[in-house]
Amino acid sequence: MIKNDLYLKALRGEEVERPPVWMMRQAGRFLPEFREMRDQYDFFTRCRTPELASEITMMPIRRFPLDAAILFSDILVVPQAMGIDFEMKPGVGPWLETSIRTMEQVKNISVPNVDDTLGYVFDAIELTLQKLNNEIPLIGFAGSPWTILCYCVEGKGSKAFDIAKSFCFKNPEAAHLLLQKITDTTIAYLKRKVEKGVSAVQIFDSWGGMLSPEDYQTFSWQYINQIVEALSPITHVVVFGKGCWFALEEMTLSKASALGVDWTITPENARKLTRNSMTLQGNFDPARLHSSPETIRKMVHEMISRFGKDRYIVNLGHGILPNIPIENAEAFIKAVVEFKT
């Protein structure tokens, strides 16, 4: 039995004394202990070594009174497991030497046995659960099929992912085959995470906002919803689509337990679009953590008041930035923990 189950209560839509809080990328570059480990091991070594991934997961938990931990990993471990050889280049980010641009390439991509290819993630879950000792829940995650396709086709990060979009529009058959293979792999991956003991899973659609509402339905949401349908009978599923406020009404019809929202929508509009029937997560602008601790506290309390304390998970509207002062991150978290109606 998890001692602090505020996060799970919010996902179940139950009444709470205060909303739970965690931060996307909370085990990240803003922590000095993370940077110290980064200087010793390259990125994917940290992801693939269960002891290191588990230790990184615990770093923010030891520092802050967070209500959930999220397993340190990366969305690109899924395409790597499918034989797509991503690396993380310093100063560049994700890098794929040979981008996926043809139907022949897509046909050669495998849907792997996740136990054979991603066992290190499942081992990290077991190690982390031992360390958490039932204090707070552990979240597992994966990237949305569309977001992973963006990296596979572009071969790197992009401001607009025009090449990925063009691939989908010129070669829809190949695009849908690739999206389905990613979806099938992701479902197996997340199911195994649940079997290993995570309390919820989150799907990150970081680049969904690059698509028009119509194309979002075609190339992103229908595949996310397959994952939601497959996972919702066995766990809570949170869907976070950056820039995807236009899809909130459609998402509300799904079996997701919660929807993440970014800072480009007001709490009032987010509630309106989801008909006040859905647990929402977000939506503090990560750059706002550069404000003074006092300003952060005031803004967080206002945000909670506007969303309402129930059916709400306090979070950022995207991942925490690497140059955020520790005391500002702490002010954000403590503002929630100390919140009173």
Q: Is residue 196 part of a domain?
A: yes
Q: Is residue 178 part of a domain?
A: yes
Average pLDDT rounded to a whole number, residues 292-299 = 98
Q: Which residues carry a binding-site annotation?
A: 25-29, 44, 74, 151, 206, 318
CB 30 within 8 A of CB 324: yes
How confident is the model at residue 19, as a pLDDT? 98
How confident is the model at residue 193, as a pLDDT? 98
Average pLDDT rounded to a whole number, residues 119-141 = 98
* pLDDT tier for residue 32 given thresholds of 50, 70 and 90: very high
Q: Is residue 232 part of a domain?
A: yes
Q: Is residue 187 part of a domain?
A: yes
Please name the amino acid found at residue 68.
Answer: A
pLDDT at 161 over 90: yes
* Tens of pLDDT, residues 211-236: 999 999 999 999 999 999 999 999 99
Mean pLDDT, the chain, as a whole number?
98
* Tens of pLDDT, residues 237-248: 999 999 999 999
pLDDT at 341 over 90: no
How confident is the model at residue 90, as a pLDDT? 87
Output the CA–CA distances (angstroms, integers) from residue 158 to 87, 92, 206, in the order listed.
16, 11, 12
CB 133 within 8 A of CB 61: no
pLDDT at 256 over 80: yes
Which residues does 301 contact at the CB level (< 8 Å), separation at least 6?
335, 339
Choose among 254, 300, 246, 243: nearest CA to 273.
246
How confident is the model at residue 17, as a pLDDT? 96
Q: Is residue 111 part of a domain?
A: yes
* Tens of pLDDT, residues 33-88: 999 999 999 999 999 999 999 999 999 999 999 999 999 999 999 999 999 999 99
Q: Which long-range contacts (CB under 8 A, 24 or more apart) does 165-171 make?
A: 165/210, 165/211, 165/215, 167/101, 168/215, 168/219, 171/102, 171/103
* pLDDT tier for residue 157 given thresholds of 50, 70 and 90: very high
In the chain, the number of structural domains is 1
Q: How many percent of the chain have pLDDT more than 70?
A: 100
Distance CA 336, CA 69 (A): 16
Angle, CA of 164, 182 and 144, to the nearest 5°: 70
Q: Is residue 25 part of a domain?
A: yes
Q: Catalogue the active-site residues.
A: 25, 29, 38, 74, 151
pLDDT at 91 over 90: no
Which domain CATH number covers 55? Answer: 3.20.20.210
Q: Is residue 1 part of a domain?
A: no
Average pLDDT rounded to a whole number, residues 106-127 = 98
How confident is the model at residue 121, as a pLDDT? 98
Neighbours of 327 (CB within 10 A): 11
Q: Is residue 328 part of a domain?
A: yes
Q: Which residues carry a binding-site annotation for substrate?
A: 25-29, 44, 74, 151, 206, 318
* Tens of pLDDT, residues 170-188: 999 999 999 999 999 999 9
User: Which residues form the domain of 189?
Assistant: 6-337
